[in-house]
Amino acid sequence: MTATVPPGHSQLRSRAQLILLAVLFFAPFVSAYIAVFVFDWRPGGERTNYGQLVTPARPTPVIALRDAAGQPLASDPLREKWSLVQLLRGPCDEACHRELVLSRQTRLALGRQRERVQRVLIADDPARLAELRERLGAEQPGLLWLLDAETGPKAFEQFADLPANALLVLDPHGNWLMWYPPVGEGEAAVQQDFKGLQKDINKLLKLSHIG
């Protein structure tokens, strides 16, 4: 006896496949547009972006992220706003904390545009995420504390080639556009990273009408 697949489930699956194909097709055009029209990139020319451009832009699959309690989310948070994403690899040391402060201060500095941007921390260890949220939750208002998917595509697999405490920029369609190395030590390095990140995000928001 063969199992039957509900029609609605089949339609949703087909729709998801079509969306993924469309995203894969348009990703190179997205990155080219950002490089040329947002950051005024020209072959052999000096770059104006501070962060590292992902070329071509890498579409991320729908990841079944969970809330801090381990419960599935009703929607994919990486497809709602511009996202500053940090992965919690191991305990949150000083470099990890500097990255959290950088993303918080950058978002605050965006003024009225800040509502278009969200900050996301993704962990693969529930106990580690709970401990960090208990310790730093009060100083990190608005941060989305999330757990990686249990099955299917995982955030840690999608961004496995990045160094620890790197900061990622995703657009509201889930395209990975840019990334930033960990914040350096010392006030001068922190200020340089803050100004560079803020400048990049302001450019993206100014020339984009999504999110």
Tell me what pLDDT residue 92 has: 96
CA 24 to chain centre: 18
Q: Does the global pTM surpass 0.85?
A: no
State how far the Cα of 130 lies from the Cα of 149, in Å rounded to an integer: 16
Confidence category of residue 21, pLDDT binned at 50, 70, 90 = very low
pLDDT in tens, 27-78: 444 444 444 445 455 455 566 889 999 988 999 999 999 999 999 999 999 9
**Residue 2 placed within a domain:** no
Average of per-residue pLDDT values in the chain: 84
Q: Taking a C-beta distance cutoff of 8 angstroms, is the pair 158, 65 a contact?
A: no
> Which residue pairs from 153-157 have beta carbons closer than 8 angstroms and sit at least 24 positions apart in sequence?
153/60, 153/61, 153/62, 153/63, 153/64, 154/63, 154/124, 155/63, 155/65, 155/85, 155/87, 155/122, 156/87, 156/89, 156/122, 156/124
pLDDT in tens, 161-176: 999 999 999 999 999 9
**Residue 202 placed within a domain:** yes
**Residue 174 placed within a domain:** yes
Question: What is the mean predicted confidence (pLDDT) over 98-115?
Answer: 97
Amino acid letter, 101: V
**Residue 34 placed within a domain:** yes
State how far the Cα of 94 lies from the Cα of 192, in Å rounded to an integer: 18
Residue 80's domain is classified under what CATH number?
Answer: 3.40.30.10
The helix (run of H) or strand (run of E) holding residue 167 is strand 167-170
Tell me what pLDDT residue 207 has: 86
**Residue 35 placed within a domain:** yes
Question: In the chain, what percentage of residues exceed pLDDT 70?
Answer: 77
* 63-89 as b/e: b if 16+ CB within 10 A: bbbbebeeeeeeeebbbebbbbbbbbb
Question: What is the mean predicted confidence (pLDDT) over 77-104?
Answer: 96
**Residue 1 placed within a domain:** no
**Residue 111 placed within a domain:** yes
Structurally, the chain folds into a number of domains equal to 1
Residue 176 sits in which domain range?
8-206
Tell me what pLDDT residue 69 has: 96
Question: What is the mean predicted confidence (pLDDT) over 193-206?
Answer: 95
Tell me what pLDDT residue 44 has: 55
Of 5-9, 99-103, 151-155, 162-166, the range with the lowest mean pLDDT is: 5-9
**Residue 211 placed within a domain:** no
pLDDT in tens, 116-138: 999 999 999 999 999 999 999 99
